[in-house]
């Protein structure tokens, strides 16, 4: 069973390895160009280091490896879970639900927001079953839309 804890700067290399395992598996079937862009832009080591410094991150560790992560940031008045990722070999064992619950515990306001790529039906179903509802779709040409979802927490 994986342990959850707050991320430290030393986790950046492990986070990058997680990204390399989970991003292509998730996004290549939807849009390989977008998959590469997300990995290059949002999972670059210097970007990860900056984010771990600035935002709360929860990581899941098993056998000395980082096998899952989530983080919490803001866009305007929205508290946003920008990332929730579980290593493909660890999906389906309840880790995503545990990381989501830990992120919800960090929310200060009355709602948690997230965005996912249109076509990521696995994530959309997971979020819907955990109480999120779609609010809006934002065009992101030439890539698929960004789907914003919100969950009321209190």
Produce one character per residue of 43-53: b if its CB has 16 or more CB atoms within 10 Å, e if not.
beeeebbebbe
**Among 113, 126, 132, 143, contact with ligand COA (rule: CB under 6 A):** 126
In the shown chain, the binding pattern of residues 1 to 40 toward ligand COA, with x for contact by CB under 6 A and - for none, equals ---------------------x---x--------------
**Residue 89 in 3-state DSSP?**
helix
Asked if 103 is part of the footprint of ligand COA (rule: CB under 6 A), the reply reads no
Residue nearest to ligand COA (CB): 96
Taking Cα atoms as reference points, which of 107, 153, 116, 103 lies closest to residue 131? 153
Whole-angstrom CA distances from 55 to 9, 33, 52, 93, 99 are: 12, 27, 6, 26, 15
Stretch that binds ligand COA, among 28-36, 47-55, 91-99, 132-140 (CB under 6 A): 91-99
* Shortest distance, position 91 Cβ to ligand COA, whole Å: 3
Asked if 97 is part of the footprint of ligand COA (rule: CB under 6 A), the reply reads yes
């Amino acid at each position: 069973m994986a342990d959850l804890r707050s991320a430290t700067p030393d986790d950046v290399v492990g986070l990058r390895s997680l990204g390399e395992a989970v991003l292509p598996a998730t996004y290549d079937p939807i849009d390989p160009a977008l998959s590469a862009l997300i990995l290059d832009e949002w999972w670059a080591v210097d970007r990860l280091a900056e984010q771990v410094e600035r935002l709360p991150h929860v990581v899941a560790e098993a056998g000395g490896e980082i096998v899952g992560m989530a983080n919490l940031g803001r866009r305007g008045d929205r508290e946003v879970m920008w990332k929730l990722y579980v290593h493909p070999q660890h999906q389906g064992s309840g880790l995503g639900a545990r990381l989501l619950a830990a992120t919800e515990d960090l929310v200060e306001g009355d709602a948690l927001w997230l965005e996912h790529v249109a076509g990521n039906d696995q994530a959309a179903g997971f979020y819907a079953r955990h109480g999120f509802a779609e609010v809006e779709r934002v065009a992101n040409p030439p890539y698929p839309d960004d789907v914003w979802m919100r969950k009321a927490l209190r």
